[in-house]
């Protein structure tokens, strides 16, 4: 009987100690996962501003795609997610204080290399049957069933989607012309 | 002689009258063309694209009819899918936008207005055909303008005029497209569908060189005629060589039976074609070898270079290939119709031609030329302005190439009469003249006022950025 009491007390103490710990961690995660938090670094502000004007924010479905949805591994890969987030957080702060001046183009290219197709395909899964994007069928097949040596990332073609500096907000439903990827980035052509 | 019955006469007259009137009606309806090609919008096409099609059907009927017969039209790919650009892009055809406020045109309304570019580039094509563009970008085709600017004395020494280049060199090698502030393409750089054209978006080449607009036909590119606009003449007579070869003879005899429209990746030797065309060996898949849009991938010698070298050793554009692997690929293609001993013995002949050209003809001439420059008997400021320079150039660039290429593609007349046969007197005369200059110590005569040597010697900045 005495044994059970000790166990119960230990469990209660554990809960009392762990709950604030976990909730603090969780709270921290939530607080540091917003576009607003990302924009608290002045280097990132232009990227967040462009994102805010893009169709990944403004669309008829009301879906908003946050920084993390694209730039970090899917939360179901919990370890990768936490590791990546922490790594990038520390790295960005370190470079801010000790690194070279921020070069947006350089960082942009570095970010492309970090993009897994899975990150886009969390949402964009039905890529092979889009009756109004005729070219997409051929191009997407060459990505989803890539020939050996011709593997491609989504961002190889879709590199002008979000972080394009705009003078006005772009609403997806008011696009006057259909969205088209511009084709492979010149860097991807090996020239 | 019996007189014809009167009813017979009447009947014949009636027939003649009917036939004549029939012809008259037909000729009144169709002065030049057979029936105009119809187009009914029966599929989901955006209204802006309908405007493109309907207007161009009237204004440029050839473009429309071509497109209407293309696989693109079959797949509902319209003008807009390739020509559309984003607002603010540098290459927007601003002149075209004025058509959208013309009340005299049926679709001249602002609501149809979309920004378009006249020039569609490989980068645009890569939106649907990325692998083909990746392969093409690695080829000598795509990089040919950079190559000639690195090695060619006509350009680097300014020995011809800008217009001689535009209408000659750059027609095949490609121009560096430039667009002014008003959105007009610089006429010195356009029109052009050169394989190495440098486009505004940074991509290289023009898919329309081989798949001409607006059919973009795979069948066309499989025919040798697709290549012969550029690959002909005294310096690279590949088409003449092909025509003379057994492959060419068989092509002409049997091309009516060829199935040029086979789906990509299924064009098969012995089934769809009897003897190969240029594309069949250099690009198409065969057996285990897969198709490549890198047309120079399967080469094992640079037969165009002054000294024959391996493609990976070609300094102006070292290929990222291994010649042994590439030769094996080419042999695999030969094996569709030839046995191993046939293939290997053929290559022995080709390799010997290359080695003999290098050692017997080119190297002695090059050594002599270097000696002349070293002794100051030839002037190195310009090229082509001294007879010996021209002799040397023609030795490797004319008959030297014909000898090697003729051996490679089995055209006896080009290997011998237009090739090695002409190398002999050329080398003899070059040597005689050079030795005479050396013996007398008198500097070679320089042609004064070299004609029309007015072209710029400044390398295009887009290809050779400052400081690189």
Tell me which residue of B41, B387, B370, B286 sits closest to B362, measured CA to CA.
B370
C-beta of residue B274 within 8 angstroms of C-beta of residue B254: yes
Q: For residue B276, name the pLDDT band (cuts at 50, 70, 90).
A: very high
Q: What is the Cβ-side half-sphere exposure of residue A99, based on CA atoms within 13 angstroms?
A: 12
What pLDDT does B27 receive?
Answer: 47
Q: Strand, coil or helix: what is B446?
A: strand
For B51-87, give one letter per residue: b (16+ CB within 10 A) or e: bbbbbbbeeeeeebbbbbebebbeeebbbbbbbbbee
pLDDT digit string, tens, across residues B401-459: 999 999 999 999 999 999 999 999 999 999 999 999 999 999 999 999 999 999 999 99
Q: When comparing pLDDT for B95 and B467, which is higher?
A: B95
Query: Is the separation of the CB atoms in A142 and A149 below 8 Å?
Result: no
Q: What pLDDT is attached to residue B149?
A: 97
pTM: 0.85
pLDDT score of B1 more than 60 = no
The whole-number pLDDT of residue A181 equals 85
pLDDT band at residue B466 under the 50/70/90 scheme? confident
Q: How confident is the model at residue B32 (pLDDT cuts 50, 70, 90)?
A: low
- Find out whether B171 and B232 touch, Cβ atoms under 8 Å: no
Nearest to B437 by CA among B382, B383, B391, B381: B391
Check: CB of residue A65 under 8 Å from CB of residue A123. yes
**B309 φ, ψ (degrees, to nearest 5):** -135, 175
Among the listed ranges A152-161, A169-178, B255-264, B345-354, which one has the minimum average pLDDT value?
A169-178
Tally of residues, chain B: 468
Q: Is A170 on the interface with B (CB under 8 A)?
A: no
CB of B195 closer than 8 Å to CB of B230: yes
- Nearest-by-CA chain B residue for A183: B127
Asked casually if ipTM beats, i.e. exceeds, 0.95, the reply is no
Contact B275, B250 (CB under 8 A): yes
Cβ <8 Å between A142 and B124: no
Q: Which DSSP string corresponds to B285-316?
A: -BTTBPP-S-TTTT-SSBTTSSS-B-GGG-TT
Please check the confidence at residue B318 and state whether its pLDDT lies above 80: yes
Nearest CA in chain B to A149: B131
Confidence of residue B73 (pLDDT cuts 50, 70, 90): very high
In eight-state DSSP terms, residue B134 is H
Burial class (CB in 10 A: 0-12, 13-18, 19+), A77: middle
Query: What pLDDT is recorded for position A170?
Result: 81
Q: Which of A38-52, B41-55, B126-140, B263-277 has the lowest mean pLDDT?
A: B41-55
pLDDT at B31 over 60: no
Biggest CA-to-CA distance, chain A: 77
Distance CA B368, CA B427 (A): 11
> Which residues of chain A neighbour B142 with C-beta distances below 8 Å?
191
Cβ atoms of residues B404 and B305 within 8 Å: no
Q: Do B129 and A188 touch (CB under 8 A)?
A: no
Lowest mean pLDDT among A33-37, A92-96, B1-5: B1-5
Q: How far apart are CA B390 and CA A2, in angstroms?
A: 109
DSSP reduced 3-state for B322: coil
Chain B: nearest CA to A138, how far in angstroms? 5
Cis peptide before A174 (omega within 30 of 0): no
pLDDT tens, position by position, B78-94: 999 899 988 888 889 99
Across B319-341, average pLDDT: 96
pLDDT of residue B427: 98
SS3 call for B21: helix
Mean pLDDT of chain B: 92
Candidate from A138-147, B63-72, B247-256, B399-408 with smallest mean pLDDT: A138-147
Contacts of residue B238, defined as CB under 8 A and 6 or more positions apart, other chains included, come to B227, B228, B231, B232, B278, B405, B409
Provide the shortest C-alpha distance from residue A99 to chain B (in Å).
26
Would an 8 Å CB–CB cutoff place A174 in contact with chain B?
A: no
Cβ–Cβ below 8 Å for A134 and B130: no
Q: How far apart are the first and last CA of chain B?
A: 97
Pseudo-torsion of CA B230, B405, B140, B268, nearest 10°?
90
Contact A182 B127 (CB under 8 A): yes
Q: What share of chain B is helix, strand, coil (3-state, %, to 5)?
A: 50, 5, 45
């Amino acid at each position: 009987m005495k044994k059970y009491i000790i166990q119960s007390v230990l469990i209660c103490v554990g809960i009392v100690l762990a709950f604030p710990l976990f909730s603090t961690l969780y709270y921290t995660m939530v607080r540091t996962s917003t576009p607003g938090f990302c924009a608290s670094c002045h280097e990132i502000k232009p990227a967040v501003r462009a994102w805010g004007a893009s169709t990944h924010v403004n669309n008829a479905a009301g879906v908003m795609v946050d920084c993390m949805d694209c730039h970090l591994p899917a939360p179901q890969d919990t370890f990768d997610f936490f590791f990546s987030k922490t790594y990038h957080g520390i790295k960005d702060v370190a470079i801010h204080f000790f690194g070279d001046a921020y070069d947006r183009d350089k960082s942009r290219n570095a970010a492309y290399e970090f993009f897994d197709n899975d990150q886009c395909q969390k949402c964009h899964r039905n890529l092979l049957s889009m009756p109004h994007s005729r070219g997409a069928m051929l191009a997407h097949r060459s990505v989803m069933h890539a020939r050996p040596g011709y593997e491609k990332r989504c961002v190889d073609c879709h590199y002008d989607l979000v972080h394009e500096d705009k003078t006005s907000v772009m609403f997806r439903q008011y696009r006057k012309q259909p969205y088209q990827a511009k084709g492979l980035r010149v860097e991807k052509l090996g020239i | 002689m019996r007189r014809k019955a009167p009813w017979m006469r009447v009947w014949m007259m009636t027939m003649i009258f009917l036939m004549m009137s029939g012809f008259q009606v037909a000729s009144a309806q169709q002065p030049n063309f057979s029936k105009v090609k119809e187009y009914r919008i029966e599929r989901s096409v955006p209204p802006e694209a309908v405007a493109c099609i309907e207007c161009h059907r009237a204004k440029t009927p050839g473009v429309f009819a071509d497109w209407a017969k293309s696989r693109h039209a079959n797949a509902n790919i319209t003008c807009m899918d390739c020509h559309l650009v984003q607002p603010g892009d540098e290459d927007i055809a601003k002149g075209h936008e004025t058509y959208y406020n013309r009340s005299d045109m049926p679709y001249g309304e602002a609501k149809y207005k979309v920004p378009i570019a006249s020039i569609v580039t490989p980068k645009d094509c890569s939106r649907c055909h990325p692998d083909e563009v990746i392969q093409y970008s690695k080829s000598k085709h795509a990089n040919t303008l950079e190559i000639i600017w690195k090695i060619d004395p006509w350009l680097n020494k300014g020995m011809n005029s800008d217009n001689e280049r535009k209408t000659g060199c750059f027609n095949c090698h490609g121009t560096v497209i430039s667009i002014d502030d008003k959105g007009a393409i610089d006429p010195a750089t356009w029109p052009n569908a050169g394989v190495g054209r440098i486009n505004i978006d940074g991509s290289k080449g023009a898919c329309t060189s081989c798949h001409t607009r607006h059919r973009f036909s795979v069948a066309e590119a499989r025919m040798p005629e697709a290549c012969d606009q550029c690959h002909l003449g005294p310096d690279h007579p590949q088409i003449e060589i092909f025509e003379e070869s057994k492959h060419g003879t068989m092509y002409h005899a049997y091309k009516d039976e060829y199935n040029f429209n086979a789906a990509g990746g299924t064009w098969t030797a012995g089934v769809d074609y009897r003897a190969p065309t240029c594309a069949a060996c250099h690009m198409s898949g065969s057996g285990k070898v897969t198709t490549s849009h890198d047309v120079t991938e399967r080469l094992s010698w640079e037969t165009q270079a002054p000294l024959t070298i391996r493609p990976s050793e070609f300094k102006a554009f070292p290929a990222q290939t291994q010649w042994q692997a590439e030769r094996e690929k080419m042999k695999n293609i030969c094996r569709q119709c030839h046995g191993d001993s046939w293939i290997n013995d053929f290559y022995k002949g080709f390799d010997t031609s290359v080695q003999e050209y290098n050692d017997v003809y080119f190297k002695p001439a090059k050594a002599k030329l270097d000696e002349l420059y070293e002794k100051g008997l030839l002037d190195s400021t310009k090229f082509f302005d001294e007879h010996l320079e021209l002799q040397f150039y023609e030795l490797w660039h004319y008959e030297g190439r014909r000898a090697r290429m003729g051996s490679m593609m089995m055209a006896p007349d080009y290997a011998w009469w237009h090739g090695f046969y002409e190398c002999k007197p050329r080398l003899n005369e070059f040597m005689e003249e050079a030795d005479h200059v050396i013996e007398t110590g008198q500097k070679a005569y320089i042609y004064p006022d070299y004609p029309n040597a007015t072209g710029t010697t400044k390398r295009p900045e887009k290809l050779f950025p400052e400081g690189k």
